[in-house]
Amino acid sequence: MADYDFYDAYDIIQSGQPYSLKQVADTWRNFAAACQSAADQLKGTSDMVTSQQGTPYQNFGARATPVANWMSQVANQANTVGTGLANAGAVGSSAQMEAHEQYATVSQKIDKIVGPDDALSVGKVNGMKAAEAEGAAVLNPQIDKWSAAYTSFNPGTVPAAPVTNGGTGSHVSTTTSTSDGTGATGGTTGTTTSTPTQTSQTDTERPIATDQNQQNPPVPPGKEDYPHSSVVGSDGKDFTGWVKDPRTGYLIDPSSGQEYDPTSGRWVDPVTGKPFGDVTQYSSRLEGLSGGTPGSMALGGGGGSVSVDPLFSLGGRPLFGGAVPPSLNPANPAYSQLAQTASNSMAAKAYAANALAMQEAQQGGRPYVPPMQAGVGGAGGSGSRARRGGLAEPESTWTGRTGARARAAAAESESTGQRGYVPGIQAGKGDKDKTKVRENPDWLVEDDVWSSGRHAARGVLGEDR
């Protein structure tokens, strides 16, 4: 059972790269497909050759068939590896999202404890420690879950390759030829892979091989499509740039924190966390939102504060499609408290959505630009002022931790509003992806195909620049 303090737990959770793990999982699974494809081809060749009479042909089959069977075993094992890694990646993504949200929540609590005068007292310090302990109580189980996913990851041992009866030097190629290195039998097959340069009509009708693939240089995967990205791409229409919560599957508006359940087609109550109201009859459930520009609020990847009145609107754009969540009925006697809870919850989710999106972008995910960084600290009123952005002293004052100090410095740097304002709706627009400023230079894009080991750029996640 993990027993870290809040900030240590946060750092440990953020040290993993679940987005990369998911990419690696896909690679193993596709490697399995490659092995199976090669095995099938070899087996087909073997069957064809052994159908002929003659010792050389039969000898070839005696060698090739076991290899093909072994390749199938390898494919199964590669699939097992991929499944284990995918599970670890999914658990890790949820843990990181939870950690981001808890970070924002703890910051909100500490802001409230410290108050506007920023003065500290023993009582306040104890209150802050209690808030951190509450956050740690949430994060430590997340570490345990992730650790359990790692522990259960058991790729097994690779089955021994079959020993051929041709002695040494046996060589099996799935694309060119299969020959006996010793020359004893001289069996050679011709399973040559064709490499056509023109597109046939048949090919164009198939969904997975397009003219683009045939006539132009292949677009490296990851350049236009971003598997596993939590950020909705241009296919999401008005939800473009929203972030999918890996824990629930809900889409989070990074500029307001409002949530939408694409499965049920309903908005999510910010207090209860449950979908409410009638099903929104959008044709695709990913269309129909009015656009709009985020209004004055403070939201930053490092600072993390959002001020939203969940009952009304964000920059003139109605939240929740204009519906009022049941828990925020003004007739409710506890309305004011619930509204505050909703506001804090939405602010924390907005912070977490931004942080997760930027984290994934640093690991080769969809390029992401936070909704805005301007106006930090100037949008009070909902009690969600960023702890580090609004306090005179960084959190390291209380914790004495280097990492926390660095994060505070980074947050303070970002809270100066040095970055330009970019509406959230622009993030991830497919047509604009090509012109968007990327975190990585173009020459690195191809590495995105395989990238998993690249480290995030310094400063983005709040560490020392």
Partner 1 sequence: MGNQLFGWSDDKQVVLDPELLDEAAGRLKQQTGGQQLVDQLRNALAPPGAFGQIDGGLGAQTRLVHVLTSLQAELAKVGLDMEDLAARTLAAREMAIQANADTTHAANSGVPHGAR
List Cβ neighbours of 6 (8 Å cut-off, separation of 6 or more). Answer: 102, 106, 132, 133, 135, 136, 139
Shortest Å distance, C-beta 67 to partner 1: 5
Which residues inside 249-288 make contact with partner 1, applying CB under 8 A? 283-284, 286-287
Shortest Å distance, C-beta 125 to partner 1: 28
Residue 309 bridge partners (DSSP): none
* Stretch 1-30: interaction string toward partner 1, x if CB under 8 A: -x---------xxxxxx--xxxxxxxxxxx
Which residues inside 214-253 make contact with partner 1, applying CB under 8 A? 217-218, 221, 224-225, 227-228, 235-237
By CB under 8 A, tell whether 357 contacts partner 1. no
What are the angstrom distances between the C-alpha of 190 and each of 178, 374, 418?
Answer: 8, 65, 63
- Among 51, 55, 193, 418, which residue interacts with partner 1 (rule: CB under 8 A)? 193
Pick between residue 31 and residue 335 the one whose CB is nearest to partner 1. Answer: 31
Which residues inside 287-326 make contact with partner 1, applying CB under 8 A? 287
Pick between residue 52 and residue 173 the one whose CB is nearest to partner 1. Answer: 173
Residues binding partner 1: what is the number (CB under 8 A)? 101
Pick between residue 133 and residue 163 the one whose CB is nearest to partner 1. Answer: 163
Shortest Å distance, C-beta 363 to partner 1: 9
Which three-class secondary structure state does DSSP give residue 267? strand
Pick between residue 232 and residue 379 the one whose CB is nearest to partner 1. Answer: 232
Matching residue, tokens 């929540």? 105
Single out the segment in contact with partner 1 by CB under 8 A; choices: 81-89, 251-259, 288-296, 306-314. 81-89
- Among 59, 105, 415, 452, which residue interacts with partner 1 (rule: CB under 8 A)? 452
Which three-class secondary structure state does DSSP give residue 37? helix
CA 84 – CA 77 distance, rounded (Å): 11
Shortest Å distance, C-beta 278 to partner 1: 21
CA 303 – CA 416 distance, rounded (Å): 10
List Cβ neighbours of 59 (8 Å cut-off, separation of 6 or more). Answer: 165, 166, 180, 184, 185, 187
Pick between residue 125 and residue 209 the one whose CB is nearest to partner 1. Answer: 209
List Cβ neighbours of 337 (8 Å cut-off, separation of 6 or more). Answer: none
By CB under 8 A, tell whether 210 contacts partner 1. yes
| DSSP designation for 444 | G
- Among 46, 59, 72, 384, which residue interacts with partner 1 (rule: CB under 8 A)? 72
Matching residue, tokens 């600290």? 377
CA 11 – CA 4 distance, rounded (Å): 10
